[in-house]
Structure 1
């Protein structure tokens, strides 16, 4: 299932609760296959280009078998693992586009015995401009209304390939805060918090939770 349109949704700067515009919905499954979903839905190709869907059924079946212990899901894996490419392949990453690693891990629990690439080129995550990119703390760009939300500790898109940053609401590729952009920082920050002795925050940011007012 896919909902919405990547272009129009990115230009809609409002909370999901306040959206009143129509949103497109697409249904895709093995019984009603239209080929690669980004061929069937061109608007998706710019954001999430798919290399195939064969990993999803195996991954889902492995987790459902683990959760329910129903033989139906195990039989599905046995009958389809070879044809769907779940055996004998060298998998080097677990991503939204390739879940074969998680399929192998959940099915065989032998991730430690397989050579995986844990290192990547660090250049892309270095802040070479030594700049901080905050969205929501300044004036609401080209509008006079106050911003209804301030998203603390989120990461905006940041500089482009020429190391330039344009602080413009219409330039969502650089100014929008996304879960995919923020997610890689969650693990390192949690680790730093753990090794620091859980001593709390020292960045002058407001607390996420506040005590309720006294009656």
Structure 2
């Protein structure tokens, strides 16, 4: 890295340390985080230089090149399902809020392309087979080892015509379709290739239906089991293909399969496993613009979801911590916070464009109210909370120091060039010392229901960053980085 590059990274780390939230600084950091999650040979422009090349032979045992892509969290496995959702959300962030990203737009595009280049490789054997994971998760989770050193099995896993994976394939189709919109103007050839791949992947997902966790079992469970079923990913993939192509075939698919694929189920969930709330918000735009009045049910479900987020409503709504953070029981709560905040902002824009608000009993969910809820979540993440702690690493004066992340917690190759074995990293896992490498922009799982956070590397539910926390956060921070209103 050049001296200028080193200075720029230091500048990114220190920006936003005091005063009101600095959304532009947080946006830059949220995108920079993805460079710390890269697998494969790192480019000359790599800014987080404590990371080095890793997993350079992925796929070689199957005579296929599966080098590249992202590690999903603090481990060294490339799980295709959450990687695809991460990519969809990064692309959706650019589609909706790219005009607000300024100089960070190119970095956001680079983050998307790092994933889509990998997906081209992973789907190159379609329509017979699709690779959906690299790295044995059981072997990996028994080690605490830098990605540059890992010597655990790099087993690759696939779905095929007899062992289907409509969920991971449907999400990958959505990712490629959404990404095709991102590159439509700047790289039309790449965009068209993405769209062609998305169409082929979706056809594979739809023709050979089934959940990938049923096909791969303990290879993906309990890590990324498909708990909600594959049906939502088929509707989600079709919705993105319609958005990218304008082809009514996909809109009719969403409509005619509404009942058989359970579009009215679990409407208040959105994340790597369950797409229902995001699906309803995405499809509701077609109804709001008058393009498809037959999709009224999706609009109704989207409205119900939005009303559930208003704490002042008398009906059932999501829980909030005493400090005001959206809270759902389970691990990595910040994934819910960022994805829900993103949907609030997207739907607020949709409502504004059609001059509408949502009746929620005795109160009204206006676009301004939705944005104010999302802003409160962003500000909480960035330090306006009972602990005065930023949950984004490298942002603010106080942020998590002991995140559950192998590469961040162990000395870099530069500082410790000797090979570290599978169990050799245990001393760094168990130490209470701060992580030596700052994973700038990483947002951890977050505090408990009482706004308490222990900053303990061992407590992965609170201290582990994941790509699908940051992906929707990119869009939300982009909105507030340019927005001049005080919500």
Assess same fold via TM > 0.5.
Answer: yes
How much is the aligned-residue C-alpha RMSD, in angstroms? 4.5
Cα pair distance change 1:163/1:31, threshold 3 Å:
same
Indicate which of 203, 219, 234 corresponds to 1:57.
234
- Aligned-residue offset at 1:71: 3.7
Gaps (5+ residues) in structure 1? Answer: 198-215
**Partner in structure 2 of residue 118 of structure 1:** 309
Cα pair distance change 1:173/1:140, threshold 3 Å:
farther
Residue pairs, 1:1-150, within 5 angstroms: 2-4=132-134, 5-9=136-140, 11-14=144-147, 22-27=154-159, 28-29=165-166, 30-33=206-209, 35=211, 37=213, 40-50=216-226, 51-86=228-263, 88-89=264-265, 91-109=267-285, 110=288, 111=299, 114-116=303-305, 117-118=308-309, 120-123=318-321, 132-134=399-401, 135=403, 140=411, 145=416, 150=438
Give the conservation status (yes or no) of the 8 Å contact 1:38–1:45: no
- Aligned-residue offset at 1:98: 2.1
Gaps (5+ residues) in structure 2? Answer: 1-130, 160-164, 167-205, 289-298, 311-317, 322-326, 328-333, 335-384, 390-397, 418-434
Give the conservation status (yes or no) of the 8 Å contact 2:444–2:464: yes
- Aligned-residue offset at 1:107: 2.8
SS of residue in 2 equivalent to 1:25:
strand
Question: Could you give the per-residue CA deviations for residues 23-60 of structure 1, whole angstroms, max 9, x where no partner exists?
Answer: 42222235444546257322423232322010111121
Between the two proteins, the alignment pairs up a number of residues equal to 191
Larger RCO (CA within 8 A; separation ≥ 6): 2
Distance 1:40 1:139 in 2: 32
Q: Which moved more, 1:107-116 or 1:22-31?
A: 107-116
Cα pair distance change 1:43/1:159, threshold 3 Å:
farther
- Aligned-residue offset at 1:106: 2.9
Distance 1:23 1:173 in 2: 26
Question: Could you give the per-residue CA deviations for residues 68-124 of structure 1, whole angstroms, max 9, x where no partner exists?
Answer: 2224323423432221112x5571232222222333333332558712222543335
Cα pair distance change 1:9/1:107, threshold 3 Å:
same
- Aligned-residue offset at 1:196: 9.1
